[in-house]
Amino acid sequence: MLIDPSPQQLWEANWVELEDILLDSVRAVKRPRDAVVILPYPSCRTDWDMGDSTVRLRVLDNGLGTGGDED
């Protein structure tokens, strides 16, 4: 998990604002058959429509594992 040291959590706010655009290239991943992308902030969404991508999205859960939509 990243700790955003910027004033008013500017880095995290910018990531969240652009998250859909940033994930566009991830949606194109078809191989390997099973892939996981760990998103950098707890506020990141993991419920994006990933289309035919094999990537599952997760966020770190307080350093104890991953959160997100578990299988």
Residue 46 near residue 57, CB atoms below 8 Å: yes
Q: For 4-61, what is each residue's pLDDT tens digit? A: 778 888 888 898 999 999 999 999 999 999 999 999 888 899 999 999 999 999 997 7
pLDDT of residue 60: 79
Of 61, 6, 71, the closest CA to residue 38 belongs to 61
Identify the residue whose tokens are 């892939």. 35
